[in-house]
Amino acid sequence: MKFLKSHVFWFVVLGIVIFVIDEQTSDPLDTIVVDAALERRVAALWAAQVQREPTEAEIASLVDDWVAEEIWRRESIRLSLDEEDEIIRRRMIQKMQFIAEQEAELTPTEEELRAYFEANQERYEVPSSVSFEQLLFHSRDAATSALSAGELIADLAQPSMQSRVNVRQSPLQVASTFGPGFTRSLNSYDSASNWQGPIQSTFGWHLVKLLEKNSSSVAPFEDIRATVLGDYTYELRMQAQTDFIEQVRPNYDIVRKEE
């Protein structure tokens, strides 16, 4: 039985046992225990604020303060002041979630991490890109006749606001610069060492030299290991929280009341 191995399960069981014993045996007087550990704690906090160690007398007075605060705290619980307080509520939820998460194994092995990466490849996709040169011409005819101009091709082009050389541009970047129609036409070409076209854009007619075409691919695991680890750990933590709630929910009777 898996839940018998769970610390949370025993945590809850032990809590119930202590509660029951406490109910039956507790002293009518509330006990506040002052020990050396407490003294060390209040002294350390004080030292962090004041930047020196407290004296014996100061420790005694810090302990007195702590005892008074503890009484305030217990009195407030006696009046159930904690129950309607959203900040306290959230803080307790957060602490419990931390405990639940500590249950889970949050440092996956290399194999688990790789398996997670394999299973979630679509998340780590790098979009496709093209690298190309472009020249702009007045008209379709001007562009077509420039194709046979050889080395002089650039002399026949008109000045273009857009870069002649465009390196590793995503389809979105190409579309933002030259328009969606140009992007579609460009994608229909294969990379080649010669000029191709003409292609129409928002600005006129272009000849293009398609230098490189990369289809979309999944980033290499080694390059994004840290991201994958972050994603996986997050998922494990969320899973731990869900598991905890599923385990403990049967202990609760949820009653819906009509107004």
Residue from 40, 73, 74, 168 binding another protein (CB under 8 A): 168
Does residue 84 bind another protein (CB under 8 A)?
Answer: no
Q: Is 163 in the site for another protein (CB under 8 A)?
A: yes
Q: Is 179 in the site for another protein (CB under 8 A)?
A: yes
Residue among 83 and 246 whose Cβ is closer to another protein: 83
154 makes contact with another protein (CB under 8 A): yes
x/- mask, another protein, residues 121-140, rule CB under 8 A, reads: ------x---x-x-------
Binding track, positions 39-78, relative to another protein; x by CB under 8 A: ------x--xxxx---------------------------
Least distance to another protein, CB of residue 90, Å: 5
Which one-letter amino acid corresponds to residue 237?
R
- Does the protein bind another protein through residue 211 (CB under 8 A)? yes
Query: Which of 43, 142, 149, 156 forms a contact with another protein (CB under 8 A)?
Result: 156
Question: Rounded to whole angstroms, how far apart are CA atoms 60 and 213?
Answer: 75
Closest CA to 113 of 219, 238, 6, 224: 224
Q: Smallest distance from the beta carbon of 22 to another protein, in angstroms?
A: 27
Choose between 40 and 91: whose C-beta lies nearer to another protein.
91
Note whether 241 binds another protein by CB under 8 A: no
Number of residues that bind another protein (CB under 8 A): 43
Among 167, 192, 238, 245, binds another protein (CB under 8 A): 167
* Phi, psi angle pair for 165, to nearest 5°: -100, 130
Residues that bind another protein (CB under 8 A): 45, 48-51, 86-87, 90-91, 94, 127, 131, 133, 151-152, 154-159, 161-165, 167-168, 170, 172-173, 175-180, 182, 201-203, 211-212
